[in-house]
Amino acid sequence: MKLISFTRPVLFLAALIPAISWAELPGITVQVVNLPSTMGTVEVSLFDSAENFLVTPYLQQSGHPDENGSFQTRFSAVPEGDYAIVVVHDANDNEQLDTGFLGLTGEAYGYSNNGNSWLGRPDFADAKFSMEDTEVTVEIDLD
């Protein structure tokens, strides 16, 4: 009986060790500025590789712009590595990126490193940044 009562607390603490170390990982704060409108939803997608870029996000968060045309979110406990961020402002909340004249986008979007999209979408290498053992803040300007 004594062995069982001692074993349970030890097993419980051992189970917490991965969660404690995961919680200590730094995060990425994303600040989106110059949204063209305070309407709709802002979707922020974090990609962890060139293979997944613009296909399968590693993490994703969304919310509504504030009254100043800005949006901020944070991805917690992000492991070290290279990442890229894509932001889409779904101004009319129809859950798709609307296109306008000649197929050009009618809604605002942007990439980490404020990658130039005039000649098409940037690739992962253009938008990537490194996450090490410190907090990272990424600002994306949708102007």
Is 11 within a domain?
no
Is 20 within a domain?
no
Q: For residue 88, give the CATH number of its domain.
A: 2.60.40.10
- H/E stretch holding 6: helix 2-23
pLDDT in tens, 47-75: 999 999 999 999 999 999 999 999 999 99
The first and second tokens of residue 57, run together, are: 């996000």
Q: What's the mean pLDDT when you consider all of the chain? A: 82
pLDDT greater than 70 at residue 22: no
Of 18-32, 57-71, 107-121, the range with the highest mean pLDDT is 57-71
Total tally of structural domains belonging to the chain: 1
pLDDT greater than 80 at residue 1: no
Residue 101 is predicted with a pLDDT of 58
Give me the mean pLDDT over the 32-56 stretch: 95
Is 102 within a domain?
yes
The pair phi, psi for residue 15, each rounded to 5°, is -70, -25
Is 129 within a domain?
yes
Is 10 within a domain?
no
Is 117 within a domain?
yes
Residue 19 is predicted with a pLDDT of 47
Is 31 within a domain?
yes
pLDDT greater than 90 at residue 105: no
Is 41 within a domain?
yes
The pair phi, psi for residue 61, each rounded to 5°, is -145, 155
Tokens 């989106």 found at: 32
Q: For residue 119, what are the domain limits?
A: 25-141
| Cα–Cα distance for residue pair 142/33, rounded to 1 Å | 6
Residue 102 is predicted with a pLDDT of 53
| Cα–Cα distance for residue pair 37/107, rounded to 1 Å | 10
The pTM score is 0.79
Using only the alpha carbons of the chain, give its radius of gyration: 20
